[in-house]
């Protein structure tokens, strides 16, 4: 089971937008805790944090292009 969990976690971290990593670094929190917050609040509030997540991903990518291509991920 651990092998499956590690491979899924690797895929998610590789192809995610980097929003949780960015927020965790800004707030000084653990990245996995921020991810769990998004998952739990998405279940409780029927997916509304997903809208915030996508907007934050868009904003982070815009900042990356405005700053000259600095990779946030």
Q: What are phi and psi of 70, to 5 degrees?
A: -70, 125
The total of other beta-carbon atoms located within 10 Å of residue 64's CB is 15
What stretches of 1-73 show up as alpha helix (H) in DSSP?
2-15, 19-27, 31-44, 48-66
**pLDDT the model gives residue 73:** 53
CA angle centred on 2, ends 5 and 45, rounded to 5°: 35
**pLDDT the model gives residue 54:** 85
Give the model confidence (pLDDT) of 5-64 as tens digits: 777 777 766 667 788 888 899 999 998 898 888 889 988 998 888 888 888 888 888 887
């Amino acid at each position: 089971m651990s092998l499956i969990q590690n491979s899924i976690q690797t895929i998610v971290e590789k192809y995610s937008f980097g929003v949780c990593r960015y927020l965790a670094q800004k707030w000084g929190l653990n990245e996995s805790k921020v991810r769990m917050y998004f998952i739990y609040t998405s279940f409780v509030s029927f997916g509304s944090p997903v809208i915030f997540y996508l907007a934050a991903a868009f904003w982070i990518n815009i900042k990356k292009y405005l700053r000259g291509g600095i990779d946030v991920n």
